[in-house]
Amino acid sequence: MNDTSKIREHMEVIASCGKHVGEVDHVDTNTIKMTKNDPTANGKHHFIPTDWVERVDQHVHLRKNSEEVFKNWTTEPATA
């Protein structure tokens, strides 16, 4: 079980393959907003669902590899 309440601003986000995929800007209940200033972001905020989180320690570790993350993240927050 992942504890997303431990996610904080500016934490590094790491894919399951070990690759850096971004940095946390903000966390909502079901979504992580990534900073737009990270080299992986191309100047845009990207959003990923919190259910991609495998675990949280000093970093946010995802259960998806970097290819899956870059293919499936969005530039708009999900709407319910």
Residue 31 lies in a domain: yes
**pTM of the predicted model as reported, rounded to 2 decimal places:** 0.92
DSSP 16-78: TTS-EEEEEEEE-SSEEEEPSSSGGGTTS-EEEEGGGEEEESSSEEESS-HHHHHHH-BSS--
Residue 78 lies in a domain: no
Looking at residue 77, its pLDDT comes to 83
Residue 77 lies in a domain: no
Domain count along the chain: 1
Domain extent at residue 23: 4-72
pLDDT tens per residue across span 2-58: 678 999 999 999 999 999 999 999 998 899 999 999 999 999 999 999 999 999 999
Looking at residue 79, its pLDDT comes to 66
Looking at residue 71, its pLDDT comes to 97
- CATH number, domain with residue 47: 2.30.30.240
- Residue 80 pLDDT exceeds 60: no
